[in-house]
Amino acid sequence: MPNSSTVTTFLLLGFSDTREQNVLCFILLLVIYLAALTANFLIISAVSLDQQLHTPMYFLLVNLSVLDLGSISVTIPNAMVNCLLNTWEISYSGCVAQVYSLAFFLTTDYFLLTGMAYDRYVAICDPLHYETVMDRKACIKMVASMWVAGLLYSGLHAGSTFAITFCSNVINQFFCEVPQLLKISCDNLYLIEFGVVVFGALLIFSFFAFIIVSYVHIFKAVLRIPTNQGRNKAFSTCVPHLIVVSLFVSTGCFAYLNTNSRSPSDLDLAFAILYSVVPPLMNPVIYTMRNRDIRVALWKMFQCGVFSGRKTRGHSA
């Protein structure tokens, strides 16, 4: 293909060439997608219905679940349809929308993870001023600024990507991924988008450094807590968050900065899954598995559902 004006569709790399394996991939993706949807919707419902969870930490967690729902819905449903129909084409406009949406959800997700680290820092290192620093108005402003920053950066990301002239329409990934689009460029305009990617990487490393410094102070404060119960509670909310951030940063940076090789690689596929599919699935598990408040809220919600159903059946009888 001589230039981007003639590209009307892109051809994505499928998981397999055989019909049977594509059906298996469809079933696996369906299970992952339903699990992620269910887990994130449960967190949103539990926090929304339980008044005791209307705190800054859980407000941020609800926003994280909303973003996770959005990010996994950008890639998985389209891949499921492609597996089922055994066709891996995506329109030019669909590819633009996918790049923009995924950049928005992932960028805002990371901003939010940074905000959650700051929330834990204030709560543990400066608890006397926590309600003043992280009041309702401050939380809303912080989250709104993160969403706006995500919108602006993703617009810059998508705009610079599709200013490129493409020599091919074959993308070696199961969704429209910026590093793979850069590999099929055939002019120097790709340097603009590469510059945007590097700028994004520097931004990510800066936030990651802020998160690490915050957690150094948090762990120092936690070690000074006299009771084991207090230390365990603090670690249970901080360690999972640090695991999520580390996984997100390491896999995302590897995928976006590894643009030298132009041949398909299983590592490209693996890292794309790790940064785009695994976090939306694992975030609810990590944040609920060690979080007693969320587990109690979920149990109350299920109890209310069961007992209200029994009462309804009893009245109808």
Predicted pLDDT at 260: 55
Q: What is the pLDDT of residues 116-142, one digit of tens each?
A: 889 888 988 888 888 888 888 999 999
Check residue 1 and give its pLDDT: 42
- What confidence tens digit (pLDDT) does each residue in 156-171 have? 888 888 888 888 888 8
The count of other CB atoms within 10 Å of the CB of residue 310 is: 10
pLDDT beyond 80 at 227: no
pLDDT by residue (tens digit) across 184-221?
887 766 667 667 777 777 888 888 889 889 888 888 88
Residue 284 one-letter amino acid: P
Give the model's pLDDT for residue 179: 82
Token readout for 52 is 């005791």
- Least confident segment among 136-140, 145-149, 301-305, 310-314: 310-314
User: Backbone phi, then psi, for 167, in 5-degree steps?
Assistant: -90, -10
Q: What is the dihedral of CA 306, 311, 316, 317, to 10 degrees?
A: 100
pLDDT confidence of residue 141: 93
Residues 6+ apart with CB under 8 A from 280: 36, 40, 68, 69, 71, 72
For residues 306 and 300, give the distance between their C-alpha atoms in angstroms, rounded to a whole number.
10
Average pLDDT, the chain: 81
Cα–Cα distance for residue pair 45/65, rounded to 1 Å:
11
CA distance 250 to 106: 14
Rounded to an integer, what distance in angstroms lies between the CA atom of residue 228 and that of residue 219?
14
| Rounded Cα distance, 99 and 181, in Å | 10
Q: Where are the beta strands (DSSP E) in 159-265?
A: 170-171
91-110 pLDDT, tens digit each = 999 999 999 999 999 999 98
Among the residue ranges 24-33, 78-87, 172-181, 232-241, the one predicted with the least confidence is: 232-241
pLDDT at 237: 64
Q: SS3 of 12, please?
A: strand
Q: How far apart are CA 272 and CA 181, in angstroms?
A: 14
Q: Which domains does the chain have, with CATH numbers?
A: 4-297 (1.20.1070.10)
Confidence band, pLDDT 50/70/90 cuts, at residue 4:
very low
Model confidence at 312, pLDDT cuts 50, 70, 90, reads low
- Coil, helix or strand for 176? coil
Predicted TM-score (pTM) of the model is 0.84
